[in-house]
């Protein structure tokens, strides 16, 4: 099965990002494809390379970057939501790209299921 994922919550304010990441890892481990992860609303904060959690805490942004690097998962950040939160190309973490809502629509068309994490 081919999945599209939507993450609507930031990396440390809500469990949605952790759950979405773990879902992606589990789906891939079971032989499914995660075609695209679309970060929307506060979810765009998952893409900031300026994120520096304490040393003993998980680094959620790096987890997403590693998923892109190792599995080729397309990580798309909504341009309008990103600009509202001060996220631009120059502070985007590795593996993420900024684009519009058309990429979310395309994910809905190209995948078998779209799973949304967060409100």
Q: How far is CA 55 from CA 49, 51, 59, 60, 92, in A?
A: 16, 12, 9, 12, 21
Q: Which residue has 């032989």 as its token pair?
A: 31
Q: Please state, in angstroms and rounded to a whole number, the distance separating the CA atoms of residues 105 and 46.
A: 20
Question: Going along the chain, which residue ranges are E strands?
Answer: 2-7, 33-39, 74-78, 96-99, 113-117
Residues with catalytic function: 78
Q: How far is CA 99 from CA 53, 62, 79, 88, in A?
A: 26, 20, 5, 11
């Amino acid at each position: 099965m081919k999945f599209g994922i939507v993450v609507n919550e930031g990396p440390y304010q809500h469990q949605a990002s952790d759950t979405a990441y773990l879902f992606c890892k589990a789906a891939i481990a079971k032989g499914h494809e995660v075609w695209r992860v679309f970060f929307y609303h506060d979810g765009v904060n998952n893409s900031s390379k300026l994120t520096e959690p304490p040393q003993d805490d998980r680094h959620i942004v790096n987890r997403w970057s590693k998923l892109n690097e190792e599995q080729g998962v397309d990580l798309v950040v909504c341009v309008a939501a990103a600009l509202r939160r001060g996220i631009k190309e120059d502070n985007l973490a590795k593996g993420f790209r900024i684009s519009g809502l058309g990429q979310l629509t395309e994910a809905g068309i190209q995948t078998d299921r779209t799973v949304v994490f967060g409100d």
